[in-house]
């Protein structure tokens, strides 16, 4: 018996970044311009700090400009809105990402809705959400985009598959469902009120777990041969007392049953950043009318 295919998110993400590096170089030589990504971090959340550092380093690595704004946790909502407004107007800034979660005294929805939709590389603005669902050209959320790329790396044609997305957040579950529908899957969205969730998941040819509960999806919920995409990033304490990262799927169990599965770390996480860079290039092209090809 052969084991399941472990989907190498790091390797696929490196391919996407290499493709972006080529595009950025072509844009630079043809048009003398370089796309720019602004990342705004408010406060000291340690996990967010790591992501922001990784994003900045990889942005520079593909040849783009990285603009980082690190604000104190006491920053007022008005100050943050004023910064977003400045970035909206700055022609050197093609993409704006405001790292979530934001401190409690700031209305995150208001901040996200203030980002110019054409610079909204997270794809969280209602205009981009609407465009995604009706099938217009949109900036699409990075984690779902990366998840679809990983699924297609093992099954290039997802058409007709039964897909179950566990989780219905605006940043992962819902846009994931929209993208899988666009791939012609038959999509079910499961959530905390879903009855008999094991048996709902068990019908799926493709399972996407975005729940936020460590190892929530068990091996015996998985249909033999199914593709499993684990979006979860949970830091838990290991038996040795050290922190370690696990997903929303019990990998040890599920990998015995699945046809293909993403690990955590090294699965969806690296794809999120790669797709952010991809969206920044796309946003640059939409804003300037310039492209790598012409
Ligand atoms: N790899 C990456 O780049 C990223 C990873 N993540 C990770 O993905 C995971 C999900 O993130 P996010 O979508 O923001 O999380 P949210 O907490 O916003 O959403 C979680 C979803 O899971 C559902 N849920 C919670 N408990 C249960 C349950 N017992 N049974 C079934 N469904 C349940 C909730 O249902 P309900 O709506 O009914 O409450 C909700 O829809 C997290 O682990 C997060 O760290 C997130 C973003 C990027
Ligand atoms: N506006 C906004 N947009 C986001 O896209 C966003 C956000 N806020 N807030 C937090 C979540 C989480 N997120 C991750 C990005 C990369 C990894 C990643 O690179 N993970 C690696 C390594 C993780 C590690 O070692 O800590 C891996 O899974 O292999 C994970 C999670 C983006 N998010």
How many distinct helices (H) and strands (E) make up the chain?
10, 11
The DSSP code for 120 is B
Contact 122, 141 (CB under 8 A): yes
Task: Name the strands in the sheet holding 186-190, side by side, starting at the edge strand that comes first in the sequence.
Answer: 5-6, 260-261, 227-230, 206-209, 162-166, 186-190
CATH number of 32-118: 3.40.50.10860
Q: Do domains 32-118 and 142-270 have the same CATH topology?
A: yes
Which of 148, 169, 273 should be mutated for ligand 1, with most atoms under 8 A from CB?
169
- Alpha carbon 269 to chain centroid distance? 7
Mean pLDDT by 10 residues, the chain (294 residues): 86 98 98 97 86 92 97 97 98 97 97 98 98 97 98 98 98 98 98 98 98 98 98 91 94 98 98 98 97 88
Distances (CA, A) of 1 to 131, 259, 263: 45, 12, 21
Mention every residue, 6+ apart, whose C-beta is less than 8 A from residue 161: 155, 185, 186, 205, 206
Q: What is residue 76's three-state secondary structure?
A: coil
Identify the residues whose C-beta falls under 6 Å from ligand 1: 143, 166-169, 171-173, 190-194, 197, 210-213, 231-234, 248, 268-269, 272
Task: Tell me which residue has its CA closest to atom 27 in ligand 1.
Answer: 192
Q: Where are the domains of the chain?
A: 32-118, 142-270
Which of 47, 167, 200, 230 should be mutated for ligand 1, with most atoms under 8 A from CB?
167
Q: Does domain 142-270 fall into CATH 3.40.50.720?
A: yes
Mention every residue, 6+ apart, whose C-beta is less than 8 A from residue 18: none
The ligand that comes nearest to the alpha carbon of residue 146 is 1
């Amino acid at each position: 018996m052969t084991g399941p295919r472990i989907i190498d998110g790091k390797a696929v993400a490196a391919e996407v970044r290499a493709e972006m590096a080529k595009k950025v170089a072509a844009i630079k030589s043809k048009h003398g311009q370089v796309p720019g990504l602004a990342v705004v971090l408010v406060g000291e959340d340690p996990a967010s700090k790591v992501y922001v550092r990784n994003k900045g380093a990889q942005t520079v690595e593909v040849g783009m400009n990285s603009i980082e704004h690190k604000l104190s946790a006491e920053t007022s909502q008005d100050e943050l809105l004023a910064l977003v407004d400045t970035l909206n107007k700055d022609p050197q800034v093609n993409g704006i990402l405001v790292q979530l979660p934001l401190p409690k005294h700031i209305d995150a929805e208001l901040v996200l809705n203030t980002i110019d939709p054409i610079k909204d590389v997270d794809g969280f603005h209602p205009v981009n959400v609407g465009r995604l669902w009706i099938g217009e050209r949109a900036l699409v959320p990075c984690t779902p985009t990366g998840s679809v790329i990983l699924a297609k790396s093992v099954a290039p044609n997802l058409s007709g598959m039964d897909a179950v997305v566990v989780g219905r957040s605006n940043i992962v579950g819902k846009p994931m469902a929209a993208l899988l529908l666009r791939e012609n899957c038959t999509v079910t969205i499961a959530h905390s009120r879903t009855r008999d969730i094991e048996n709902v998941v068990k019908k799926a040819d493709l399972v996407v777990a975005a729940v936020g509960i460590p190892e929530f999806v068990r091996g015996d919920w998985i249909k033999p041969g199914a593709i499993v995409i684990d979006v979860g990033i949970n830091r838990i304490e290991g038996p040795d007392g050290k922190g370690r990262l696990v997903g929303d799927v019990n990998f040890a169990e599920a990998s015995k049953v699945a046809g293909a599965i993403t690990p955590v770390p090294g699965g969806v996480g690296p794809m999120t950043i790669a797709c952010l860079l991809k969206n920044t290039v796309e946003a640059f092209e939409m804003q300037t009318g310039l492209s790598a090809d012409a």
